[in-house]
Amino acid sequence: MGRQKVKNSNGVGRLTVTLAPGQREMLEAIAGENQVSLAFVTRKMLSDFINAHRNGRLRLSFAPAPKGK
């Protein structure tokens, strides 16, 4: 089954993720401490993650997906 790419009228993509236990609460706490929205924290986090990977400061090693996935 393929993944559906959803974009709004401005061409901005939407992504849905499932978080591990406690992750949402931690992100909400970070947002509250900084008086910003959960969406802002998430976008900032993703931007920093992508930039770190792009600039060679972060290299991830993923195990191959199990067959049939």
66 token code pair: 């199990």
Task: Compute the half-sphere exposure of residue 5: CA atoms within 13 Å on the CB side of its CA.
Answer: 3
Q: What is the pLDDT of residue 64?
A: 79
Q: What is the pLDDT of residue 10?
A: 74
pLDDT at 60 over 60: yes
14 token code pair: 């939407």
Dump pLDDT digits (tens) for 11-46.
778 889 999 999 999 999 999 999 999 999 999 999
